[in-house]
């Protein structure tokens, strides 16, 4: 090969390698776990891998449910997410949600998605129908502010649980409709709803639902992953009841609720309601002046503040 042809060939090879490296670099910078992060509504650098890959934590689809009397695996103090839709009531045990984080279900004839983030202590449920289509969600394996990022299987958009919003993809900016959830003990939910259905522990997966996959985490002051904002007014893992009205946020720390009455009137953003606190079952809820329960969120203090640093905070009289 003469020097001229050799030079041209070498230049072509260099150009090809360069383009491949650039393309590879862009792909690494713009994707994680196979999800495109370009133009995300949240900082890309704060989207972190939680360890498992996409669907490494398997969601549940149309799961088996059983009657309360058949839920022998549950103990009175076990935590559950209790949900009612169109008069049908169902309990989702935290001991199962710890291993799956997302349940795609139909309750009272409506498609819903039940979500739980063990790292933030947050259990939330949403309407899963959008524009006449039912969305199915999975666990992305990614986190933002230590909170689970869901993804929908139709568009691969990522959704922030606590923000209740799609933060990437074709659905970016779309809001989820939150449903009221009772985050309480099995004994409390059962006492108030004796005919409740229960998510069965026969999920089709080999998991030890009697063991906590995060032993000691809720009692520790340490976080597994960093968050953007912190406030040490309360211990990181102490519980708060969070309320959102018209884009504004208010927190009711359990440490404040413990100092006052178990039931009291309050007002926020021009709306009046009653706050109920149950110290025995470590739960709280808000009922408006029409007797309807408002969608709220029980969360670790650090998680609530990380997403809502401008939150108003209820303090005991």
Q: What is the pTM of this model?
A: 0.90
| pLDDT given for residue 8 in this prediction | 38
| pLDDT given for residue 26 in this prediction | 44
Let me know: does 157 contact 170? Beta carbons within 8 Å: yes
Q: Is 66 left (phi over 0), alpha (psi -120 to 50) or beta?
A: beta
The model's pLDDT over 52-87, given as tens digits with 9 standing for 90+, comes to: 999 999 999 999 999 999 999 999 999 999 999 999
Q: For the chain (length 317 residues), average pLDDT per consecutive 10?
A: 39 45 49 95 97 97 97 98 98 98 98 98 97 95 98 98 98 97 98 98 97 96 97 98 97 97 97 98 97 97 98 95
The model's pLDDT over 284-298, given as tens digits with 9 standing for 90+, comes to: 999 999 999 999 999
Q: Rounded to the nearest 5 degrees, what angle is found at the Cα of 69, between the Cα atoms of 63 and 70?
A: 45
- Euclidean distance between CA atoms 90 and 80, whole angstroms: 10
| pLDDT given for residue 139 in this prediction | 98
């Amino acid at each position: 090969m003469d020097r001229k042809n050799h030079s041209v060939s070498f230049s072509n090879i260099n150009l090809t390698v360069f383009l491949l490296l650039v393309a590879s670099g862009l792909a690494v910078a713009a994707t994680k776990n196979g999800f495109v992060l370009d133009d995300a509504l949240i900082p890309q650098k704060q989207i972190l891998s939680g360890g498992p890959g996409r669907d490494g934590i398997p969601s549940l689809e149309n799961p088996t449910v059983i009657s309360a009397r058949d839920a022998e695996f549950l103990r009175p103090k076990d935590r559950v997410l209790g949900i009612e839709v169109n008069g049908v009531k169902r309990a989702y045990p935290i001991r199962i949600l710890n291993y799956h984080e997302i349940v795609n279900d139909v309750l009272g004839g409506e498609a819903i998605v039940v979500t739980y983030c063990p790292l933030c202590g947050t259990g939330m449920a949403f309407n899963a129908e959008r524009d006449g289509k039912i969305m199915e969600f999975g666990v992305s394996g990614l986190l933002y502010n230590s909170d689970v990022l869901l993804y929908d299987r139709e568009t691969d958009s990522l959704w922030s649980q606590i923000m209740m919003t799609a933060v990437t993809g074709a659905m970016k900016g779309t809001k989820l409709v939150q449903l009221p959830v009772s985050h309480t003990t099995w004994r409390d939910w059962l006492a108030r709803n004796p005919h409740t259905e229960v998510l069965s522990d026969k999920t089709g997966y080999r998991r030890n639902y009697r063991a906590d996959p995060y032993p000691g985490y809720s009692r520790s002051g340490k976080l597994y992953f960093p968050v953007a904002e912190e406030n040490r007014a309360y211990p990181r893992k102490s519980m708060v009841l969070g309320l959102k009205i018209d884009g504004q946020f208010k927190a009711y720390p359990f440490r404040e609720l413990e100092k006052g009455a178990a039931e009291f009137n309050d007002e926020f953003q021009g709306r009046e309601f009653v706050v109920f606190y149950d110290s025995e079952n470590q739960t709280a809820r808000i009922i408006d002046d029409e007797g309807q329960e408002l969608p709220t969120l029980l969360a670790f203090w650090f998680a609530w503040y990380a997403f809502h640093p401008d939150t108003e905070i209820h303090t005991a009289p």
